[in-house]
Structure 1
Amino acid sequence: MTRYSVERFRAAVFHMYLRVAVAVTFPLSVLYFLFVATPDKGGVPFAFALFAAWLKWRTRHDSEESLRYAGWFLLMLMCLMLYGTYVSNEKLHQEVWMMIFPIAFAPIVAERERIIWIVVGALSLSAVSMLRLEPLTLMSTFVFLSAYLTLGLITMMLVRHNEQNIERLAHLTITDPLTRTFNRGYLKEVMASEINRCRRGGQALTVIMLDIDHFKMFNDTYGHLFGDSVLEQVAESLMKSAQRAGDYVFRYGGEEFCILTSGLDRDESWQFTEKLRLSIYALNIENRQSPHRRLTASAGFWCVTELDEITTSALLLNADNALYRAKEAGRDRVVDFEDIPTAEKTGSTRLQGSPA
């Protein structure tokens, strides 16, 4: 989630750049044509404006996917910058062109790509500065590049600091403060993403609903502070057991947790759910109100292989129905939704075609 938040930030900045590029370079090309005696008479900024307008149209419905065009935008921007540096004179100060590029590339490319862009920019500026009709002196070139690199490094540091703040805020918005699992608000977003991913990859998706048995009586007996401590231990146990790529643990509410996993068949899903249940049993926490005299949990799951018509509501509803059957059967057990008689699960599958 934090990675996606940063990518959304980069995409938003990229879209803003495209709007600014279109709004600025069209009038700029007209001004150059009318008032500034450049060799191209405004043709280069006009071509760049057309390219930016095309990119803006091409990415109008995209979000993070639009970032795949960021490299092309930066390449064209660097060509505009180099041309501006080449034709600079007392009216077109090359420092202005130098300042554009670092501010442009840093917020819209990944961290590992920024060093590449700043080095490419420095080498290109050096080459163009030496090829000018009035080439810079060695000292002027050194000062010019030092200023460019300094500006670039400062910009990258500020952008990275901003991204870290975005990551922290994103983490806080999706995390349950007590158990440090994902919260319920993030659940449907992940489920929708996992349904699409598993559908494309032909994988099964399993939803598990797990509830601590007799937890209300546990709180009444031992106190809510100790109950909170137990919730933390249970959550830690679940996260330790669900460490595969594609495993997610959510606090669904109170003492109920939801776990998503993918790539497992029905038997493997049952074994995985049983592993989660046994991990809580292995905590060996006393619960005098339970028939088992220790903390136990019940769980229900649904493993779905055909995801074409499935919705998040149906997944949650049917897994919760399996959990209800586990509690009805005596608790401290796992129930597979597919093992529930068809007549008894008609009501639960009714929502499969409803909106998520």
Structure 2
Amino acid sequence: MPISNRSRDVFDSLLFFAFVAITALCLSFTFSMMMYQLGVPTNPRAFVLTNLLISACVALPTGVIASQHEFRLKNYQRRLEALAATDPLTGLYNRRFFKQALEDEVQRMRRTHQTAGLVMFDLDHFKCINDRFGHKSGDLVLQEVASAAFAELRGPFDRLGRWGGEEFVILLSNVTLEQSALVCERIRERIASLHLECRGQDFSITASFGTCLLKPGAQIDLALETADAALFQSKNSGRNKVTARRAVELAA
């Protein structure tokens, strides 16, 4: 089972504490032995033991303070990394980080010769919700949709990001175009079945999808344009639909 980031940080902090404490004790012992060789103490054994006791009393609190500082620093660094990689509203990958994940997937596919599905979808008539209930309610809808879409994906294998506004993007690893379309259909149905409420009024929302096949050596910008064109086709043909594009060559 993989170790969580928090558990790893705790383990690293304990190692850091041990390093600081042991280093302080070693320095103290070395100092004691030097003084003993010089013949300074009248009672060498008592001198060494006293020196080690005092050093331990100093080293242990110092190690605790240092390890706490190390833990807080790593926790702060991870928070910064999360803020840089995620959309603050939905917690999904932001646009920049998703494109990086997309590039990494293309590099991986060069080695495995697998294919992936690239999906773009956005919410139908989302502006009407903002106009009717306000932007705060619109934000809550985006969060609900993000959770619904994420629930249909395969954990760490797939990637879900917020592309901007009410538009989302998905990377489905190791799937065919048909499988990608089926995933889109499941997400579309799940979003359409959401029971949303604001100011005592029940309402629902739908989403339109476009997907294309991502091949090894794909041109990422062309793949995004193809998925976006498929999404546009779903919009123009009545919305709340899934359109799959397979006729575009994506290989570089």
User: Which one-letter code corresponds to 2:87 in the other structure?
Assistant: D
2:227 counterpart SS class: helix
Match of 2:232 among 321, 324, 327: 324
Greater helix fraction, Structure 1 or Structure 2: 1
CA contact (8 A) 2:18 2:63 kept: no
> Is 1:274 the equivalent of 2:185?
yes
* C-alpha distance after superposition, 1:321-348 (max 9, x if no partner): 221222233222212221xxx4xx47xx
Correspondence 1:112 to 2:4: no
In the alignment, is residue 167 of structure 1 matched against residue 109 of structure 2? no
Which AA in structure 2 matches 1:176?
Answer: D
Question: 2:70 is paired with a residue of what secondary structure?
Answer: helix
Q: SS at 2:240's partner residue?
A: coil
The amino acid across from 2:210 in the alignment is G
User: Do residues 259 (structure 1) and 163 (structure 2) align?
Assistant: no
Alignment match, 2:69: 158
Calculate the TM-score normalised by the size of structure 1. Answer: 0.54
Residue 73 (structure 2) pairs with residue 180 (structure 1): no
Among all aligned residue pairs of Structure 1 and Structure 2, give the percentage whose two residues are the same amino acid: 29
Structure 2 residue matching 1:245: 3-state secondary structure:
helix
CA distance in 2, matches of 1:274, 1:203: 22
> Aligned equivalents of 2:28 and 2:111: distance in 1?
48
1:334 partner amino acid: V
- Aligned residue identity for 1:295: I
TM superposition shift of 1:137? 0.8
Q: Residue 209 of structure 1 aligns to which amino acid in structure 2?
A: M
Q: Within 5 Å, give how 1:260-339 maps onto structure 2.
A: 260-284=171-195, 294-304=204-214, 306-307=215-216, 309-338=217-246
| Comparing 324-333 and 191-200, the one that deviates more | 191-200
Aligned to 1:229: 140
**CA RMSD of the aligned region, Å?**
3.4
**TM-aligned CA distance change 1:120 to 1:263, over 3 Å:** same
Gaps of 5+ in 1: 1-5, 7-108, 287-292
Q: How far 1:123 sits from its partner (Å)?
A: 5.6
Distance 1:225 1:187 in 2: 25
State the 1:138 CA deviation: 1.6
| Partner secondary structure for residue 137 of structure 1 | helix
Pairing of 1:70-219 with structure 2 (within 5 A): 111-116=10-15, 118-119=17-18, 125-126=25-26, 129=29, 132=33, 134=36, 137-219=48-130
**What's the TM-score once normalised by structure 2's chain length?**
0.73
- Report SS of the residue matched to 1:206: strand
Counterparts in 2 of 1:209 and 1:118: CA distance versus 1, 3 Å: same
Whether the aligned pair in 2 keeps the contact of 1:207 and 1:315 (CA below 8 Å) is yes
Per the alignment, residue 96 of structure 1 pairs with none
CA positional deviation for 1:238: 1.6
The letter for the 1-side match of 2:122 is: D
**Structure holding more strand per residue:** 2
Which one scores higher on RCO, CA 8 angstroms, separation ≥ 6?
A: 2
Query: Does structure 2 retain, via aligned residues, the 8 Å contact 1:126–1:145?
Result: no
Q: How many angstroms does 1:156 deviate by?
A: 1.5
- Partner SS for 1:300: strand
2: CA distance, partners of 1:294 / 1:127: 69
Partner amino acid for 2:213?
C
Q: Which amino acid aligns with 2:241?
A: R
The CA distance in 1 between the partners of 2:78 and 2:17, in whole Å, is 24
Letter in 1 for 2:209: A
After superposition, the C-alpha distances for 1:69-92 in whole angstroms (9 at most, x for unaligned) are: xxxxxxxxxxxxxxxxxxxxxxxx
Contact 1:211 1:256 in 2 (8 A): yes
